[in-house]
Structure 1
Amino acid sequence: MLKTFITPCLLGTVIFLGACNKNIYVPNTVNAPLLKEQFEFKGSLSPTNYQAAFAVTDHIAVMANGQYVFRPFGNNDDNDDVFVDKYAKGGLFEGGVGFFSPFGSKKRMVFDVYTGLGSGSFKTLDAAYHDDGNTGNVNDYLLRSHFSKFFVQPSIGFVHPAIETAFSSRFSVVNFYDMSLGNKVFENDAERRDGFGQISQKTRFFMEPAFTFRAGYKYVKFQMQLSFSVPLSDNGYENRDDGSVVNKYFQPVSLGLGASINIAHWYDDFHKK
């Protein structure tokens, strides 16, 4: 099983390191709350992602997630960022419901699985906008997408008042629609214009594993998450003359940093056990 998850991660890393892409889909941070009891609340906040989860019973919880990515179109940096598309803007909102269960002799391990729905949109600029000196009409260089999303997300993790770790394996089903290209996007490349349009012609599947780490004490912790997004189809990839493969439209790797807030009664009983 471990090999099954590691292989997509390595694949995503290889693609990511060679990427010079136009992101019309930037995966949001995986919400891995690892709740343990009824009425427990956990939320997280970072510059681009906002998440919350609440346990309505000892095993059932609801979650809500928001994302907003903003990278100014006025960026004049001549160097392409190998990590992200520097022009990408947009985000999503999603909600879900799930099952959780602590286990082990001290109940410090938690398994949970959530499923939910969401929708969002992204826009970015073709590199030609920068090549033309940023003097043209922005709309002529604009790539835009809208999408709806369904996800299933199992996680397993360790929970302690000072440290939490989790591995999640989110599987997302994404339908793109209302996609558009400006007049000057891929102006001299009809094949790429056609390929972009084909993205919305069928449902897209993504494997999105994530590793989450939290450290602090009780109610407030620092949170870090490394996540991958691997499209389970060849559309969205481009084969280069040198044999390398580039993911053109979907951001393959994300590193999120933020804070986690947890309100729970089990902290009060921790040292009594």
Structure 2
Amino acid sequence: MKRPVLIFLLLAGGLSFSACNKHIYVPNTVNAPLLKERYEFKGSVSPTNYQAAFAVTNHVAIMANGQYVFRPDFNSGDESEDGLFVDQYVRGGLFEGAVGFFQPLDSRKRMVFDTYAGFGAGSFKTLDVAFNDESATGNNNDYLLRAHFSKVFIQPSIGFVHPAIEAAFSSRISMLNFYDQYLGNKVFETNPDRRDNFMRVGSKSRFFFEPAFTFRAGYKYVKFQMQLSFAVPMEDETYSGYEVSQYFQPVAFGMGASVNIAQWYNEFRKK
């Protein structure tokens, strides 16, 4: 089945995901700092993502991002908390760094464009759905799925920046290369075709279109932040009768706090 690329079709129900999906990639929060001036710093923290960006000149900035996904019911054997997009057993994360360019688009510097290019690496692991069976034997490693990956991305964003409110749209494109994949001896135990399907995930580079909508609200230096993001494979492939995309979490939603240290707040009321 071909997956729609347009995001509104994604939301309209063109997905074939279910609670049985096992994810070895969960998109991290897109860092959309929307910096305006030299020496400005912006950072954010949420339960699973940690981000920072710093402007080294009036147009050049650097960023660093970290992610760690940990769902505490990894050993519960209870799938009741699984949702349409969330794999309750997934653990892992990534680290990445980037260099970027930013440019205010109007004289009052309320609209900002930025773009970053970066590199990262990480890994995720999860458990086969068979781990929930009452008849399951063995330990976690017997049902374990795991993969490491490297990541290259480019990320343009545009947004509105105000002392009280910020809003941004980002359109990150990521290239991932999966390697060191591992399957426990009981994963897809009765389905060798699906075992082959999983191992083919690392057969070539995987490209993702990862749009994100970011909103911040508060006052000056500290704001509440929320973001809705997507990970849409740019090529939908099937090996051994199964879609490779079933191993990638398609939607992420995060909330946290954002901190911004900048001089432009002092000049805002004077303009």
Same fold, TM-score > 0.5, yes or no? yes
5+ residue gaps, structure 1: none
Q: Is 1:75–2:76 an aligned residue pair?
A: yes
Partner of 2:189 in structure 1?
187
| 4+ residue runs over 4 A deviation | 236-240
Shift of 1:133: 5.7
Other-structure match for 2:257: 259
Q: Given the alignment, which residue of 102, 105, 108 partners 1:106?
A: 108
Determine the C-alpha separation between the residues in 1 that align with 2:238 and 2:263.
47
**CA deviation profile, 1:164-188 (whole Å, cap 9, x unmatched):** 0000000000000000100000111
The percentage of counterpart residues that share the same residue type is: 67
Alignment partner, residue 10 of structure 2: 11
Output the amino acid matched with 1:250. Answer: F
Q: 1:144 to 1:18 in 2, by over 3 A?
A: closer
Q: 2: CA distance between counterparts of 1:118 and 1:267?
A: 32
Query: Comparing 160-169 with 104-113, which one deviates more in the overlay?
Result: 104-113
Q: Distance in 2 between matches of 1:237 and 1:167?
A: 34
Secondary structure, counterpart of 1:272 in structure 2: coil
Equivalenced residues, count: 265
TM-score by length of 1: 0.91
d(CA) in 1 for partners of 2:205, 2:5: 24
State how far apart, in whole Å, the 2-side matches of 1:42 and 1:238 are: 46
- In the alignment, which residue of structure 1 is the partner of 2:45? 45
Secondary structure at the aligned position of 2:53 is classed as: strand
Which residue matches 1:24?
Answer: 24
Does structure 2 conserve the Cα–Cα contact (< 8 Å) formed by 1:164 and 1:215?
Answer: yes
Q: Give the stretch that moved more between structures: 9-18 or 89-98.
A: 9-18
Whole-Å separation in 2 of the counterparts to 1:105 and 1:149 = 36
Separation of aligned partners in 1, 2:8 and 2:25: 18
SS in structure 2 of the partner of residue 199 of structure 1:
helix
Contact kept, 8 Å, 1:158 with 1:166, in 2: the verdict is yes
CA RMSD, 1 decimal = 2.1
CA contact under 8 A between 2:201 and 2:244: conserved in structure 1? no
Cα shift at 1:58: 0.0
**Structure 2 CA distance, aligned partners of 1:134 and 1:162?**
53
* 1:227 is the counterpart of 2:229: yes
Offset at 1:194? 0.6
Segment drifting more, 12-21 vs 152-161: 12-21
Tell whether 2:270 aligns with 1:272.
yes
- Could you tell which deviates more after superposition, 88-97 or 68-77? 68-77
Q: Using the TM superposition, give the Cα deviation of residue 74 of structure 1 relative to its aligned residue in structure 2, in angstroms.
A: 1.7
1:137 to 124, 136, 139: 139
Separation (CA, whole Å) in 2 of partners of 1:6 and 1:166: 21
Q: Determine if contact 1:199/1:236 at 8 Å carries over to the other structure.
A: no
Q: Deviations over 1:30-75 (max 9, x none)?
A: 0000000000000000000000000000000000000000013123
User: Do residues 36 (structure 1) and 36 (structure 2) align?
Assistant: yes
| CA deviation after TM superposition for structure 1 residue 130, in Å | 1.1
Q: 1:7 to 1:15 in 2, by over 3 A?
A: same
Query: 2:227·2:253 contact (CA, 8 Å) conserved in 1?
Result: yes
Provide the C-alpha distance between the structure 2 equivalents of 1:53 and 1:41, rounded to a whole number of angstroms.
6
CA-to-aligned-CA distance 1:103-131 (integer Å, 9 cap, x gap): 11321000000000000000000010111
Residue 140 of structure 1 aligns to a residue in which SS? helix
Gaps of 5+ in 2: none
Q: Tell me the distance in 2 between the aligned counterparts of 1:200 and 1:248.
A: 14
31 and 70 in structure 1: CA distance in 2 versus 1, 3 angstrom threshold: same
Offset, 1:19 = 2.7
- Is the Cα contact below 8 Å between 1:117 and 1:151 reproduced in 2? yes
1:16 deviation in Å?
A: 5.1
Residue 268 of structure 2 aligns to which amino acid in structure 1? F
- Tell me if the contact between 1:12 and 1:253 (Cα under 8 Å) persists in the aligned partners: no
- Using the size of structure 2 for normalisation, the TM-score is 0.92
Does the aligned pair in 2 maintain the 1:65–1:95 contact within 8 Å?
A: yes
SS in 2 for 1:149: strand
